[in-house]
């Protein structure tokens, strides 16, 4: 493993311990290069979802995140 990969593994380990799941996801979104229009893609993927489906999906993601924090 390269020196850069070792450092990145340490950094991501520290971030996972110090940040909430939401903060960690936000950080990854900030530093991940993007191609295209993410907002347009998100609208397209969610156009057929109702509010209840979105809330249910968000709750499932939240539960998964809280389990991994323990």
How many whole angstroms separate alpha carbon 38 and alpha carbon 26? 14
pLDDT of residue 29: 82
pLDDT of residue 69: 56
> Which residues in the chain show pLDDT less than 50?
none
- The structure's pTM equals 0.40
φ, ψ for residue 52, nearest 5 deg: -60, -40
pLDDT of residue 66: 67
pLDDT of residue 26: 84
pLDDT of residue 22: 85
């Amino acid at each position: 493993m390269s020196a850069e990969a070792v450092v990145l593994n340490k950094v991501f380990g520290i971030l996972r311990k110090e940040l909430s799941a939401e903060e960690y996801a936000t950080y990854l979104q900030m530093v991940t290069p993007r191609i295209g229009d993410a907002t347009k893609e998100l609208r397209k993927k969610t156009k057929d979802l109702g509010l209840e489906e979105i809330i249910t999906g968000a709750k499932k993601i939240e539960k998964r995140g809280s389990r991994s924090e323990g």
